[in-house]
């Protein structure tokens, strides 16, 4: 257990070394609970540098739960573009609506109430309760688990049931000690920051010489940092095969379709795509689904995209978009649009689909998008229905 003096050292280090991030003000100053909820939701499984770009845009458009609750889901997903894992955006949208309906538009302050919000688990509830409201609520994520296991020299998997119980219990004691002194939010955020910037995961080496917990750290004392924690167990990933057709019309517009709600990348936009679980769809199958001739689709390459639970293998084709869709052409879409390259940022596309477009359109896409980057983001409503 970290003692009061070590916690003070940790807090001092955090005040001096915390990264300047758009969702943080001066350390220890009051924080907007909505901004904490949004940033903590974005931080799950996404790089900080990406969030630093998107968070200010998102908060400018949705500065309160009420503003997000009143928005159309397509706009919400478009503003989430680049962050991936769009289920989080849907959950945040639903959470905003619940905050308006049940909590009068103010983010609830207790862990129990926060846990009622869609997409809010024990970690996010603890982060909001401690950082925004100063409650002695514990947090455990990958970063904090690594720090605590190393400090205590526990060579175990962080997802092991007994280790999870120990971590939550220990985190609760640290938050309580923080609440008696430097503040529960400060100490919680300090452990997170230490894990993200100093106590780095293998194969990187932790920067023990710069660590405020070094005098108390068992892993450092025994030289076992690289062996703690043990790697998590991994379930076998399912393989999915996709064939995507990037179709461009005479005006240079790209055909996008919206995926059905539910399942992988639900509701996101994509180049028309056919998928199978057993084998790669053939060019003929893709062409037939679109009402085109197979000879009109030209192979542009393949790649494999790994998600947490799946390996998705893409075969990418390029072709000319028909003026009109033949009767029966569907490729599983619920909605279709023709989009100029400079409008793509207004569409919620998975990172895999951005790669599909890059592969098919190459330099033409990057040059146009670079020009578009200097212009204001196009509104989703201005694309042409296809």
Answer whether the bond into residue 5 is a cis peptide, omega within 30°: no
Characterize 122-149 residue by residue with b for buried, 16 or more Cβ atoms within 10 angstroms of its Cβ, and e for exposed.
Answer: bbbbbbbbbbbbbbbbbbbbbbbbbbbb
Q: Could you give phi then psi for residue 178, rounded to 5 degrees?
A: -65, -40
CB of 170 to ligand SF4, least distance (A): 14
CA 26, distance to chain mean position in Å, is 25
Alpha carbons within 13 A on the beta-carbon side of 315 = 19
Q: Which is nearer to ligand SF4, 51 or 177 (CB)?
A: 177
Which tokens sit at 51? 């969030």
Shortest Å distance, C-beta 199 to ligand SF4: 3
Q: Which lies closer to ligand SF4 via its Cβ, residue 41 or residue 225?
A: 225
Give the residue numbers annotated as catalytic, written as ranges. 40
Q: Which is nearer to ligand SF4, 75 or 193 (CB)?
A: 193
Q: Which is nearer to ligand SF4, 79 or 199 (CB)?
A: 199
Least distance CB 164 / ligand SF4 (angstroms): 19
- Shorter beta-carbon distance to ligand SF4: residue 6 or 273: 6
Q: Which residues touch 355 (CB under 8 Å, ≥6 apart)?
A: 303, 305, 314
- Residues 6 or more apart whose CB falls under 8 angstroms from that of 262 comprise none
For residue 189, the tally of other CB atoms under 10 A from its CB is: 25
CB atoms closer than 10 angstroms to residue 53: 11
CB of 177 to ligand SF4, least distance (A): 17
Q: How does strand 384-385 pair with strand 269-270?
A: unpaired
Among 141, 189, 218, CA closest to 10: 189
Q: How far is the CB of 213 from ligand SF4 (least distance, A)?
A: 4
Question: Which residues of the shown chain bind ligand SF4 in the complex (CB under 6 A)?
Answer: 147, 150-151, 198-199, 206-208, 211, 213-214, 217, 219-220, 225
Instruction: Give the chain's radius of gyration (CA, Å).
Output: 24
């Amino acid at each position: 257990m970290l003692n009061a003096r070590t916690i003070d050292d940790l807090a001092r280090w955090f005040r001096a070394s915390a990264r300047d991030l758009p969702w943080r003000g001066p350390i220890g100053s009051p924080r907007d609970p909505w901004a904490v909820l949004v940033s903590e939701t974005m931080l799950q499984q996404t790089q900080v540098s990406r969030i630093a770009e998107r968070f200010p845009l998102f908060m400018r458009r949705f500065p309160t739960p009420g503003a997000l609750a009143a928005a159309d889901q397509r706009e919400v997903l478009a503003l989430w573009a680049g962050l991936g894992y769009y289920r989080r955006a849907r959950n945040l949208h639903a959470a905003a609506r619940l905050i308006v309906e049940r909590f009068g538009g103010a983010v609830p302050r207790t862990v129990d109430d926060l846990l009622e919000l869609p997409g809010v688990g024990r970690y996010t509830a603890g982060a909001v309760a401690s950082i925004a409201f100063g409650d002695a609520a514990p947090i455990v994520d990958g970063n904090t688990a690594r720090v605590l296991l190393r400090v205590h020299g526990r060579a175990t998997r962080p997802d092991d049931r007994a280790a999870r119980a120990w971590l939550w219990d220990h985190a609760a004691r640290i938050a309580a000690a923080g609440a008696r002194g430097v503040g529960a939010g400060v100490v919680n955020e300090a452990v997170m920051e230490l894990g993200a910037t100093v106590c780095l995961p293998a194969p990187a080496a932790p920067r023990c010489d710069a660590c405020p917990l070094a005098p108390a750290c068992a892993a450092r004392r025994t030289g076992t940092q690289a062996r703690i924690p043990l790697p998590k167990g991994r379930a076998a990933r399912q393989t999915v095969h996709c064939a995507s057709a990037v179709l461009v019309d005479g005006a240079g517009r790209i055909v996008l379709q919206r995926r059905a709600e539910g399942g992988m990348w639900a509701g996101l936009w994509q180049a028309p795509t056919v998928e199978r679980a057993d084998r790669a769809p053939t060019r003929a199958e893709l062409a037939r689904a679109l009402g085109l001739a197979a000879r009109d689709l030209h192979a542009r390459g393949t790649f494999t995209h790994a998600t947490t639970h799946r390996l998705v293998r893409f075969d990418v084709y390029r072709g000319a978009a028909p003026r009109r869709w033949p009767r029966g052409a569907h490729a599983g879409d619920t909605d279709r649009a023709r989009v100029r390259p400079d409008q793509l940022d207004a569409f919620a596309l998975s990172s895999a689909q951005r790669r599909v477009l890059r592969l098919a359109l190459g330099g033409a896409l990057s040059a146009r998008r670079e020009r578009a980057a200097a212009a204001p983001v196009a509104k989703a409503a201005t694309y042409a229905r296809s």
